[in-house]
Chains A and B, each alone.
Chain A
Amino acid sequence: MLQFKNVSKTYENTNVTALENVNLDIEKGEFVFLVGHSGAGKSTLIKLITAEEKATSGEIIINDINVSKLKRKEIPYYRRTLGMVFQDFRLLDNKTVLDNVAFAMRVVGANKRQIRRRAPDVLGRVGLSQKAHFLPDQLSGGEQQRVAIARALANNPNLIIADEPTGNLDPDTSKEIMEYLEEINRSGTTIIVATHDKDIVNRMHKRVIAVDGGTIVRDDERGGYSEHEEL
């Protein structure tokens, strides 16, 4: 479902080559960790997937869409097929938990009835039904991240991409977040998680792709965090 073919990315403004000749194949339903030192190119790889950055060369094909060739106008429609989760949650703090999820649906043109049916449902999947009417700053970090996951689920994407989703959370909460993601993965959604969190990667025994200096240095089917990549 996701393919990188000889993808390179050089940031024009700094002339930094963040990714070089990356080849990658991810199948539908996989759970993939993306690991590597700070500055290795993990976020760049993710931004290429989300079409936030454009590859300098090579081809990126996701869900049969040639992402590297997308026109600006087509990007919004492509993004609706993805769910994104960030380290800093990125919730609208003037909207309630439920409205944050509803907002993501409204933005892509869902009607009131669809929203009323689906928004509480996805909140239930991250265990937040009780706090639907709380504002984000009335929630713990872990709960906020769960809202972000619910929002990512709102439009029923088949791929969820998370850039350091546990970067701001303590180990127990991190573990809990990963359990929710794993649960979502079990229902068939492909998940890609960029992370520094050694414990999580080692414990979960998922596919691990290690990036270093802009290239993929390791790709283990049931890997852990290697000693060399210690951060």
Chain B
Amino acid sequence: MKNFSYFIKEAFSSLSSNKTVTFMTLITIVISLIVTGFIQLVSVNLVHISNQLSSNFEFNIYIKDSVADEELESVRQDILQVAMVDDAVLMTKSEAFQEFKSKMSDDPLLKGLSEEDNPFRNRFMVTVTDLNQADRVMDEIRMISEVDAISDNLETSQKLVDAREKINLYSIIIYLALALLCLSIISNIINVSIFSRRKHINIMKYVGATNWFVKTPFVIEGVLVGLFGAIFSTVLLAYGYHLIYPKIYMVMQGVFLIQPMAIFYQLLGINTVYGVCIGGLGAGFAVNKYLKV
């Protein structure tokens, strides 16, 4: 590859001499990767959460905050009295909080969180002997005055799986639509920078440059911008995800999202492929117009 250093040099010098174009291309890629990355995070987490829920106890019985700790055991007895209840395990709010804090121990955001900020409620994790009768059992448990709310993990889990299937279907459409939109925006933006170099391209063609030779520096330029865009958007997404990760746990009462680090490389990989393809193709399409001489 005796031309390699020439191509790289051309690509970098044009990246820096067309700063506006480079910047606009970068922004376009970053925005679309944030959208697709977000969809990806949601989809992956739906699976993760529904797996967690279906392997958990089947029902969470939340107890009103007004109920004192000493009364909890009698509430438990009341629940066990209900026909077809198999077992009821207590998870106190402070246990839930401790578990949360231990799992999140490395999170600097939570260092300052004290027992007073505890967002959890006391709950019983209840299993039933006959799942077909579950609705009736829950109706009965709901009658117990200390009970605040019931969440049905299996049902939620099923809903999440359904939602995920829909998201996966739509996300393919959204990915493709975004890719096309992005491609056309980018090739138009790059067009601006190529327009100013059409004399350059013309001269190359007159002295006998192949289309491949003319195109390569532009494509490398597009690929580089795509790569920067992928890294930048992944870091932004990962940082945002890292911020909401503990909050989601609190809101969802004990359900975890996938750990930020566990998903980082997958996100980076997919974004890189996407960014590099869009950048390279966009540039390639843009130059094609000027190769007809």
A79 touches B203 (CB 8 A): no
**Beta-carbon contacts under 8 Å, A50-80 to B:** 50, 52, 73, 76-80
B203 touches A90 (CB 8 A): yes
B199 touches A107 (CB 8 A): no
Interface residues of A (CB under 8 A from B): 50, 52, 73, 76-80, 82, 84, 90-92, 103-104, 106-109, 111-112, 151, 154-155
A104 touches B200 (CB 8 A): no
Among B200, B205, B206, residue most surrounded by chain A Cβ atoms (within 10 Å): B206
User: 16 A-B residue contacts at CB 8 Å?
Assistant: A76-B211, A77-B208, A79-B205, A79-B207, A79-B208, A84-B206, A90-B202, A92-B200, A106-B3, A107-B208, A108-B207, A108-B208, A108-B209, A109-B3, A151-B207, A154-B207
Interface residues of B (CB under 8 A from A): 2-3, 6, 199-200, 202-211, 213, 293
A76 touches B205 (CB 8 A): yes
Minimal beta-carbon separation of B7 from chain A (angstroms): 11
Minimal beta-carbon separation of B195 from chain A (angstroms): 16
Task: Give bound CA distance, A80 to B6, whole Å.
Answer: 20
Known: A52-B293, A106-B6, A111-B2. Is A76-B199 also a contact (CB below 8 A)?
no
Interchain pairs with CB closer than 8 A, number: 50
Across the interface, which residues of B come within 8 angstroms of A92, CB to CB? 199-200, 203
Task: Give bound CA distance, A82 to B200, whole Å.
Answer: 19
Main secondary structure of the interface of B (DSSP, over half): helix
Across the interface, which residues of A come within 8 angstroms of B210, CB to CB? 73, 76-77
B207 touches A104 (CB 8 A): yes
Extra A-B contacts (6), CB below 8 Å, given A79-B205, A90-B203: A76-B205, A76-B210, A92-B199, A107-B208, A107-B213, A109-B2
Minimal beta-carbon separation of B171 from chain A (angstroms): 39
Across the interface, which residues of A come within 8 angstroms of B204, CB to CB? 107
Task: Give bound CA distance, A108 to B210, whole Å.
Answer: 8
Task: Give bound CA distance, A84 to B203, whole Å.
Answer: 10
Minimal beta-carbon separation of A162 from chain B (angstroms): 12
Task: Give bound CA distance, A90 to B6, whole Å.
Answer: 21
Minimum CB distance partner of A112 in chain B: B2
Minimum CB distance partner of A83 in chain B: B207
Across the interface, which residues of A come within 8 angstroms of B203, CB to CB? 90-92, 103
Task: Give bound CA distance, A103 to B209, whole Å.
Answer: 10
